[in-house]
């Protein structure tokens, strides 16, 4: 029961981290800098926790004796962020969520079926298959309904067809599925790494450190190849810089707006915008504890249930300045399907 609770807690922390990082990104205009901030904060927090609990004497000799994939948990974290960053603008948030979740569930169940990455073997049967399909259907209902309440921006629709059509979207569909697969692999790898090190804290520290290093390397490569501007978001069309009360739109007092206004910084930085790493620690640490007990498939599904439920609560409450969105009958039905699927997979 504790392991199931931890799987849900990891899912609960995920949308909170996403919301916090989203607000930070609005201000620094860079998914890459936001990711580096999140990884960096997590490493600092874990360093302190390890110093106070299990210590910093990580058994590198035992870890080095394992297959090379034992180090891939942090790399998976970078792949997840990279695929989301690339695919979201082309697929829309609803399609991205469904594809990532589908890839995550399928990968987790395949890992369980064959005992990959050192995970306990849990064979697929009809009940687990039906449960997985119910969860995917629930994710589809919740995410599509959430998307239908988003306002249109600058004359564009969130899930408008790409000019290149379905063929042009195929690389991004594959990318989103890869991002979901990376989620399932990360859960399994870190669960095994936790067994090897004997410490979930040390495992999470290793994973986050590798994620920080790989993301830093990615940023450096991008800057070298494409220039410093490549790590920043493109200014949104029709955006306007924030104007202090009593000031003119162009800042020179003549009342005529300049041709290319600067994008606003969404209200300025707040201290809590830098706490995303703390919630990242909760996600990876909780999964590292429960994955060896429950298996990658069930843990990923518990993550999704906790994530979707918390996302709906954040929407309903308007947490962190997010626009309030009602909890509709369709969203409720989606959550009930996800819960029923989870019960079939975990308890029957």
Low-confidence ranges of the chain (pLDDT < 50): 150-163, 236-265
Which element (helix H / strand E) includes 159?
Answer: none
C-alpha to C-alpha distance for 25 and 16, rounded to whole angstroms: 14
C-alpha to C-alpha distance for 149 and 316, rounded to whole angstroms: 12
pLDDT at site 4: 87
pLDDT at site 263: 42
Write down the H helix ranges in 244-328.
Answer: 276-294, 296-317
pLDDT at site 234: 64
C-alpha to C-alpha distance for 36 and 214, rounded to whole angstroms: 10
DSSP 57-114: ---HHHHHTS-GGGGHHHHHHHHHHHHHHHHHHHH-HHHHHHHHHHHHHHHHHHHHHH
Q: Is the pTM of this model over 0.85?
A: no
What DSSP state is assigned to residue 260?
Answer: S
Neighbours of 267 (CB within 10 A): 11
Find, among 314, 346, 348, the residue nearest to 331 by Cα: 314
What's the full length of the chain, in residues? Answer: 348
Contacts of 275 (CB under 8 A, 6+ apart): 20, 41
Contacts of 75 (CB under 8 A, 6+ apart): 210, 211, 214
pLDDT at site 265: 47
pLDDT at site 213: 94
Task: Provide Rg for the chain, Cα atoms.
Answer: 21
pLDDT at site 11: 86
Find, among 282, 90, 110, 276, the residue nearest to 180 by Cα: 110
pLDDT at site 34: 86
Contacts of 108 (CB under 8 A, 6+ apart): 184, 187, 188, 295, 296, 297, 298, 299, 300, 301
Which pLDDT tens digit goes with each residue over 90-106? 777 677 778 888 888 88
pLDDT at site 298: 85
Cβ–Cβ under 8 Å, residues 304 and 101: yes
**Cα dist from 255 to 40, 147, 243, 251, 258, whole Å:** 43, 38, 12, 8, 9
C-alpha to C-alpha distance for 248 and 318, rounded to whole angstroms: 31
């Amino acid at each position: 029961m504790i392991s199931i609770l931890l799987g849900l807690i990891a899912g609960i922390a995920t949308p909170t981290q996403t919301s916090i990082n989203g607000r930070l990104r609005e201000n620094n205009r860079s998914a890459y800098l936001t990711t580096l901030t999140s990884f960096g904060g997590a490493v600092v927090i874990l360093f302190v926790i390890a110093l106070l609990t299990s210590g910093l004497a990580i058994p590198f000799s035992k870890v080095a004796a394992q297959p090379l994939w034992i180090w891939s948990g942090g790399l998976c974290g970078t792949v997840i962020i990279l695929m989301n960053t690339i695919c979201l603008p082309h697929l829309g948030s609803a399609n991205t969520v469904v594809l990532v979740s589908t890839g995550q569930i399928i990968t987790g169940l395949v890992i369980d079926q064959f005992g990959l990455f050192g995970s306990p073997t849990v064979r697929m049967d009809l009940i687990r298959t039906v449960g997985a399909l119910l969860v995917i259907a629930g994710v589809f209902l919740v995410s599509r309904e959430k998307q239908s309440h988003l306002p249109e921006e600058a004359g564009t629709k969130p899930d408008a067809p790409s000019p290149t059509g379905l063929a042009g979207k195929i690389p991004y569909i594959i990318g989103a599925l890869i991002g979901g697969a990376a989620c399932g692999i990360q859960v399994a790898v870190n669960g095994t790494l936790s067994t090897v090190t004997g410490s979930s804290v040390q495992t999470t520290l290793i994973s986050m450190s590798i994620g920080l290093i790989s993301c830093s390397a990615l940023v450096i490569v991008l800057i070298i190849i494409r220039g410093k501007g490549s790590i920043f978001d493109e200014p949104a069309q029709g955006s306007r810089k924030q104007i202090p009360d009593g000031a003119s739109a162009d800042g020179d007092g003549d009342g005529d707006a300049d041709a290319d206004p600067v994008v606003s910084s969404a209200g300025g930085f707040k201290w809590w915008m830098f706490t995303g790493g703390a919630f990242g620690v909760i996600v990876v640490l909780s999964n590292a504890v429960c994955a060896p007990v429950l298996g990658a498939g069930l843990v990923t599904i518990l993550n999704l249930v906790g994530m979707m439920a918390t996302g709906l609560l954040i929407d309903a409450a308007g947490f962190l300045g997010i626009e309030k969105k009602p909890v509709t009958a369709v969203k409720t039905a989606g959550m009930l399907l996800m819960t029923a699927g989870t019960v079939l997979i975990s308890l029957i």
